[in-house]
Structure 1
Amino acid sequence: MKFSLLLCILFSLKSCGNTSAITSMQENTMQQLSGNYSVTKLINNDTLMITPDINFDASDNRVSGFSGCNRFNGSYTIDGNNITFGPLASTKMMCREEANTIEHNMFDTLSQVNSFSLQNNILTLFKDKDVLLTAKQDNSYIIEYTAVSRGVYQQVIVKDSIVSFQKNRTSKPISKTCNENEWNKITANIETIQLSSISKLEAPSKAHQYDGAALANLKITYQGKDYQTQTFDHGNPPNEIAPLVKEILSIAQNIE
């Protein structure tokens, strides 16, 4: 009797532990399902010539993306690890047969999906136990800095550790791959910035309003979302983004 009781207690504790782990996993999955995911496998095709993407906005349960031919948007509902997509609206562009086929499969997949998993930035959508779609979240940043006036044009784009610099309106962009030290400085500077707040940053000076300085803007794209500053004076950015701006301009201006 004592042995049986001990087994019951151990089984109960183990069950509670598993239940807690499952609940925790579901809660974490719900919290993490946000941002942009690039489709790597659709139904049984893992060699897509065109890459659809799907973006989740957890703040209002909206979904949007590129289906292979058109842009789409709609709603989604999550209950634990179950997911359903509401009616999806899309643009009406005409595309080649291959793009149309991918788009058809994409919409057909989203209409059938009923559960998902998310591990190591890999999103998997299921119909029951069948895998219908696999997508990978891109956690890289795209940084775009522009400075424009009647006599000035500069554009710096940073993507995948490559810095591209166009120094005037008529020149072609030149680029270089950042070394490890440069890239670490860029990422460290980005991580000090609260992206959702950069649109509210006040410019420390207003010379651009009377042609006393070029108009400058900084845009950072992360997980499918754009975060952009208000216009500020080229050469005098808000303090919160000044180290990042200084770093990317320093790298750009030293490209040979």
Structure 2
Amino acid sequence: MKTLATMSLLIFTVLFTSCDETKKVIDVAGSVQLTGNYNVTALNGKKLSESTISPTFSLSALNNSIQGNTGCNSVFGNYTIDLYAINFSDLAVSEKMCTDKNIMKTERDFLNALHNTGSYALQNGVLTLYSNMDRSILLSATKNTQ
């Protein structure tokens, strides 16, 4: 009986540990897949016009960091991935005064999208960020292939 209990505990430990390791591998693979430079094409489900200066950003799997430009200010911070969930944190923005109200609105929408993101999808070079509240699309960005 004691041997059976010991074997059961050993099997449970191996299964639990291997599942955790598998999840870590999946998270790292997701982060590597996201690595690259992006141009924002839509915010809050609305396509950005040709005349709008679009935000750009880069994601790096080396240190799970985000760096970008809102069209006026620079932004940088960190992100974490848990399967298809993504969370941006420690975001900081330079504080240049921009007189163009359209650029400032786009900047606010971009930063709000990052703050409110809960999950993501990357298909055919298009990164889509979804709301953590209702899974609505907050941001769409095209990955640069260069």
User: TM-score per shorter chain, which class?
Assistant: 0.7 to 0.9
- List structure 1 runs of 4+ shifted beyond 6 angstroms: 23-27
Preserved CA contact (<8 Å) 2:27 2:81: no
Aligned to 2:65: 62
Shift of 1:105: 0.5
Q: Which runs of 5+ in 2 are unaligned?
A: 1-22
What is the DSSP-based 3-state SS (H/G/I as helix, E as strand, rest coil) of the residue aligned with 2:63? coil
Aligned to 2:128: 124
Q: Which structure 2 residues correspond to residues 28-39 of structure 1 after superposition, within 5 A?
A: 28-39=29-40
Q: Which structure 2 residues correspond to residues 1-256 of structure 1 after superposition, within 5 A?
A: 28-48=29-49, 49-95=52-98, 96-127=100-131, 128-140=134-146
Amino acid at match of 1:35: G
**Identity percentage of aligned residues:** 34
Of Structure 1 and Structure 2, which has the larger fraction of its residues in strand?
2
Which structure is higher in RCO with an 8 Å CA cutoff and minimum separation 6?
A: 2
Q: Which runs of 5+ in 1 are unaligned?
A: 1-22, 141-256
Preserved CA contact (<8 Å) 1:30 1:80: no
Question: Aligned partners of 1:68 and 1:78: how far apart in 2?
Answer: 26
Shift of 1:26: 6.8
Once the two structures are superposed, residues 111-160 of structure 1 have per-residue CA deviations (whole angstroms, 9 ceiling, x without a partner) of: 100100111111000014211100011112xxxxxxxxxxxxxxxxxxxx
TM-score of the superposed pair, with normalisation by structure 2: 0.74
What is the DSSP-based 3-state SS (H/G/I as helix, E as strand, rest coil) of the residue aligned with 1:87? strand
Over the aligned positions, Cα root-mean-square deviation in angstroms equals 1.9
